[in-house]
Amino acid sequence: MPVIETAIPSKITQRADRLAKLGLMGGAVMLALAAATVAANAETTITAHGISTFGELKYPADFKHLDYVNPDAPKGGEISEWTSGGFDSMNPYSIKGRSAALSSAAFESILEGTDDEVGANYCLLCSTLEYPEDRSWVIFNLRDDVMFSNGTPMTAEDVMFSYEVFLAKGLTDFRTIFATKVEKVEALDPLRVKFTFKAGIPTRDLPQDVGGLPVLSKAQYEAEGLDLAESNLTPFLGTGAYALGSMRIGESVTYKRNPDYWGKDHPLRVGTNNFDSIRIEYFADYDAAFEGFKGGSYTFRNEASSIKWATGYDFPAVENGHIIKADLPSGQKSTGQSFVFNLRREKFQDPRVREAIGLMFNFEWSNATLFYGIYDRINSYWGNSFMEATGVPSPEEAALLQPLVDEGLLDASVLTDEALMAPVSGDRQLDRGNLRKASALLADAGWIVGDDGMRRNDKGEVLRIEFLEDSPTFDRVINPFVENLRSLGVDAVLTRVDNAQMEDRTRPPKYDFDITNHFAQTGYFSGTELKQYYGADTADVSSFNAMGLKSKAVDRMIDLVLAADSLESLTTATKALDRVMRLERFGIFQWYKGSHTVAYYNMYEHPQTLPPYALGELSFWWYNAEKAAALKAAGVLK
């Protein structure tokens, strides 16, 4: 991506405990009632229009549209954006090739979330879903009007087929995790599909997990001999509002809105999918892309470069209002953007080495000198959210961490120390205090400075670190970092490669890098994806777990997060996991900004109040034909 500067009791047990304290039950009676309640709950089937991880759904069954859309938004026009590099595939679900931007836009899933709720999903391709209170299985009652973009109906057979194809041919980390979750999938009839989950595992998120899988057309897949694991320029059929319109391989791709889209009147879709077409233009580098925007090659830009935002928008089209420069509010949590270490390499096995390197990145100087002060430092994998660990652990967090301390997986200081924060540096590029701390750490780790000023271990090997990067705009950030490391005696270098090389070297099975940029992703209510991103089982097969993290402490904490059965217990477990992940020091947090910095030609409009968790320019913004005509009349656009 171009320059991104950018254990608590169950309700049943609680009820039994309350009755016992009131003296209304004897011990045996209490246990019998609790057991009976469990049995009854297991047999109770809930039928609903949606499902929430915890609490109630915001939108009732008869809602007409989402609160944050304009239900009367006009349809028409085009919106265009940019991305870097090129593409040679329309298959977004294979590690082979480089898929076109938005190539997954054609696909929908049975359930879909909203941009103003956390942990809630509603029926899109289904009319209702059924599940027991223990969520050990789920049945989706599919709508009878859902059509693929070629006009053929979607059935339960397509849903079951899609799951089986993803399990057999999907990304290895997906297969590794989902194979342990689902016992079987059944097409009960043409419009009913049932997922049964394996016994003895947390099921809290599983209905939403399987309901979020893309649905492909079985007929097209088999008739055209497609292969999910292979790079392919033939796009899979989906049920979505957009399908491939045209493409110039490696240069441009356009998606056209299907005028016969089945879901245009669906409550989740009213006021969305407003553009007739969405176009993505490819550019070799960030500067070329910016010049392309100024020249009208594309029309919407989500600005990720602080220097461009601060100094680049002084050209006439902005000054006369033909281009809008806007800073829009965002309630999204921080991205987790980091420099990550390749922990598969021996030199990074010692956490003292990782800590020392992290001390040499001077965020404060970078923000003041390079970023014009528009960023905040990331300190947490759940930053800018209520899941972020702060201060010393609460008693509830400590109770979860204590067993890991007892087993020697964590130092006892985790129980009393404040959550680890990114180091703070001074206003000069090289902070002398941090340099001394880093020097001591490396010396303790056995990396000694030689006569030539370079650090070597007892084998005589130089501590060499390569930063791998494919965006030239990161040079001004990484080069001062490299200079600081060389002052420490580290043979640090920046190697810039093209997009294809970047993907080849950072993806499995190669993982041929020392340090690179990576998004350490998490959800507000994190679930199974944590195993894909941070679990030991996926460390050598996952593009998400780029750093190759294999931590018994992290794995144990992930299991506690997955087992949490209330918002309170999930929050406690997530904060404890956040503490443990920070202590692993597998990455060096970078920066984020709590707003959307965008620029666009003055022919797009959006709802007055944006939802907290999305900008939504491709979803619920719309095109003003009169404004577009004025721009063309003025010669601003062709």
Q: What local confidence, expressed as pLDDT, does residue 528 receive?
A: 87
Q: What local confidence, expressed as pLDDT, does residue 638 receive?
A: 82
Q: Is the pLDDT of residue 39 over 60?
A: no
DSSP assignment string, 346-360: GGGSSHHHHHHHHHT
Q: What local confidence, expressed as pLDDT, does residue 473 receive?
A: 85
Q: Do 438 and 326 share a domain, yes or no?
A: no
Residue from 9, 219, 20, 193 nearest 110 by CA: 193
Q: How far apart are CA 197 and CA 438, in angstroms?
A: 49
Indicate the number of domains in the chain: 4
- Cis bond leading into 509, ω under 30°? yes
- Using N-to-C axis directions, what is the helix angle for 432-444 and 351-359, rounded to 10°? 160
Q: Do 60 and 138 share a domain, yes or no?
A: yes
Residue 230 lies in a domain: no
Q: What local confidence, expressed as pLDDT, does residue 23 receive?
A: 30
Confidence bin at 171 (pLDDT 50/70/90): confident
Task: Classify residue 387 as exposed, middle or buried by CB count within 10 Å of its CB (0-12, 13-18, 19+).
Answer: buried
Q: Return the exposure string of 296-312: e unless at least 16 CB atoms fall within 10 Å of the residue's CB, then b.
A: bbbbbbebbbbebbeeb
Could you tell me what percent of the chain has a pLDDT over 70?
93
Residue 234 lies in a domain: no
Lowest mean pLDDT across 15-29, 495-509, 613-627: 15-29
User: CB count, 10 Å around CB of 625?
Assistant: 12
Report the pLDDT averaged over residues 294-308. Answer: 95
**103-149 residue pLDDT tens:** 999 999 999 999 999 999 999 999 999 999 999 999 999 999 999 99
Residue from 143, 111, 144 nearest 127 by CA: 143
Q: Is the pLDDT of residue 21 over 60?
A: no
Q: What local confidence, expressed as pLDDT, does residue 12 receive?
A: 28
Which residues of 470-553 form beta strands (DSSP E)? 491-496, 515-519
User: CB count, 10 Å around CB of 412?
Assistant: 12
Residue 437 lies in a domain: yes
Q: How far apart are CA 80 and CA 283, in angstroms?
A: 13
Report the pLDDT averaged over residues 580-607. Answer: 97
Report the pLDDT averaged over residues 234-245. Answer: 97
Residue 232 lies in a domain: no
Q: Do 140 and 207 share a domain, yes or no?
A: yes
Residue 81 lies in a domain: no
Task: Classify residue 314 as exposed, middle or buried by CB count within 10 Å of its CB (0-12, 13-18, 19+).
Answer: exposed
Q: Do 259 and 327 share a domain, yes or no?
A: yes
Residue 74 lies in a domain: no
More confident residue, 523 or 378: 378
Report the pLDDT averaged over residues 29-40. Answer: 38
What lies within 8 Å, CB to CB, of 521 at 6+ separation is 336, 529, 533, 544
Q: What local confidence, expressed as pLDDT, does residue 472 receive?
A: 87
Q: What local confidence, expressed as pLDDT, does residue 35 receive?
A: 40
Confidence bin at 496 (pLDDT 50/70/90): very high
Q: Is the pLDDT of residue 561 over 80?
A: yes
Q: Do 90 and 200 share a domain, yes or no?
A: yes
Q: Do 251 and 210 share a domain, yes or no?
A: no
Report the pLDDT averaged over residues 384-390. Answer: 95
Q: Yes or no: say if 112 and 273 are a contact pair by the CB < 8 Å rule.
A: no
3-state SS class at 254? strand
Report the pLDDT averaged over residues 306-319. Answer: 95
Q: Do 429 and 576 share a domain, yes or no?
A: yes
Report the pLDDT averaged over residues 393-402. Answer: 98
Which residues of 251-360 form beta strands (DSSP E)? 252-257, 277-283, 300-302, 323-329, 337-341
**196-219 residue pLDDT tens:** 999 999 999 999 999 999 999 999
Q: Yes or no: say if 268 and 122 are a contact pair by the CB < 8 Å rule.
A: yes
**Backbone angles phi and psi of 421, in degrees to 5:** -115, 155
Residue 211 lies in a domain: yes
Q: How far apart are CA 436 and CA 456, in angstroms?
A: 17
User: CB count, 10 Å around CB of 466?
Assistant: 17
Report the pLDDT averaged over residues 144-173. Answer: 94
Q: How far apart are CA 472 and CA 402, in angstroms?
A: 46
Lowest mean pLDDT across 39-43, 447-451, 458-462: 39-43
Q: Which of 196, 223, 250 is the last residue of a domain?
A: 223
Residue 109 lies in a domain: yes
Q: Do 533 and 618 share a domain, yes or no?
A: no
More confident residue, 474 or 171: 474
Lowest mean pLDDT across 23-37, 248-262, 449-463: 23-37
Q: What local confidence, expressed as pLDDT, does residue 139 receive?
A: 98
Q: Do 373 and 343 share a domain, yes or no?
A: yes
Report the pLDDT averaged over residues 427-436. Answer: 97
Q: Is the pLDDT of residue 7 over 70?
A: no
Q: What is the CATH number of the domain that holds 298?
A: 3.40.190.10
Report the pLDDT averaged over residues 15-40. Answer: 34
Q: Do 371 and 383 share a domain, yes or no?
A: yes
Q: How far apart are CA 56 and CA 112, in angstroms?
A: 16
Q: How far apart are CA 576 and CA 4, in angstroms?
A: 28
**What are 603's strand-pairing partners?**
none
Q: Is the pLDDT of residue 499 over 90?
A: no
Q: Do 548 and 605 share a domain, yes or no?
A: no
Q: Do 314 and 328 share a domain, yes or no?
A: yes
Confidence bin at 269 (pLDDT 50/70/90): very high
**45-99 residue pLDDT tens:** 999 999 999 989 999 999 999 999 999 999 999 999 999 989 999 999 998 889 9
Confidence bin at 176 (pLDDT 50/70/90): confident
Q: Yes or no: say if 55 and 524 are a contact pair by the CB < 8 Å rule.
A: no
Q: How far apart are CA 82 and CA 207, in angstroms?
A: 35
Q: What local confidence, expressed as pLDDT, does residue 219 receive?
A: 98
Q: Is the pLDDT of residue 622 over 90?
A: yes
Lowest mean pLDDT across 36-40, 42-46, 482-486: 36-40
Q: How far apart are CA 121 and CA 272, in angstroms?
A: 17
Q: What local confidence, expressed as pLDDT, does residue 43 receive?
A: 66
Whole domain around residue 143: which residue ranges? 45-68+86-223
Q: Which of 223, 251, 273 is the last residue of a domain?
A: 223
Residue from 131, 123, 116, 102 nearest 211 by CA: 123
Q: Sheet harboring 78-84: ordered strands across?
A: 78-84, 277-283, 252-257, 242-248
